[in-house]
Amino acid sequence: MVLGTAELGGLYRPMTDDEAQAGLAAAWERRVRAFDTAPHYGVGLAEERLGRFLREGPREAFTVSTKVGRLLVDDPGAPDAAEGFVGTPRRRRVRDYSADGVRRSIEESLSRLGLDRVEIALVHDPEDHLPQALDEAASALSGLRDEGVIAGWGVGTNHADVAEQFVRATDADHVLVAGRYSVLDRRAERTLLPACAERGVRVLVAGVLNSGLLVDPRPGAPFDYAPAPDGLVAAARRMADACAAHGVPLRAAALQFPTRHPAVDAVVTGGARAAMVADTAAQLAVPVPDALWAELDALVPDPALLP
């Protein structure tokens, strides 16, 4: 389990410093030692809060991944709520996938984290900047890896085809794919995961609850941050019913599903509040029988239903 830290940055609702530290402590108590963050999360707030917690522990005891592609600029006129994050510092995001921008981003992330290195750096959401990201950002990150500033690098995206371009065109070590390899949405399974397995690229899977549809599949439930189509809600409902027949919560199956694939290294979980961390750990420990996996595989919806 890798703890995602978007919530530490005030994703959708404010989080206090005390709540952030309590959530991180709850994760640490459950032997979570890997953390994924980004400048985007609360315009640096998540990195700052994570760094404040990790400075108390031995550096060799944990791993951190952060991201590049968004530089942060102090701006007293910036709102404290933007792009889904609330209660944030007065900063604005500037997209930059240049070699200089990547190096500056890593330097500034290390400063916010209070660390001398991170294990993984991911090119964050490069869909609209692919030529520069595949050229300049990739080259700069390979250089930083050679220098020992990072141990490895890759791409973090919601798009399986974008991730696959990095796998095939660069010497990336990692892929973080969000939402595209879930018990419901298996688009990454077609060609991305086989390409990663072939090239030895390690895969992190995030967004396994598909924005909440796989927590509570009801009409109006979100999928990819928008109301899910009725056909997709019905498909998720059928999966929930199959799980219930086996005494397994749907979210337990959803959280555990990606690790069945040999190319997947770990699941990045989203809830960073103490109660959610505890619930996630409990769901990951629920036994899921092989018969249920077979039923869920048979219930995968037609890809045409996916937005």
C-alpha to C-alpha distance for 278 and 92, rounded to whole angstroms? 33
Cβ atoms 155, 141 nearer than 8 A: no
Identify the CA nearest to 87 among candidates 38, 41, 27, 25.
41
For 170, counting Cβ atoms within 10 Å of its Cβ (0-12 exposed, 13-18 middle, 19+ buried), the class is: buried
Q: How many CB atoms lie within 10 A of CB 77?
A: 6
Q: What is the DSSP string of 120-138?
A: EEEEES-GGGHHHIIIIIH
Name the residue among 16, 104, 12, 122 with its Cα closest to residue 64.
122
41 flagged as catalytic? yes
Catalytic residue among 12, 41, 181, 225: 41
Rounded to whole angstroms, the Cα distance separating 78 from 293 reads 47
Query: CA angle, corner 3, sides to 149 and 156, nearest 5?
Result: 60
Q: Could you give the residue numbers annotated as active site? A: 41
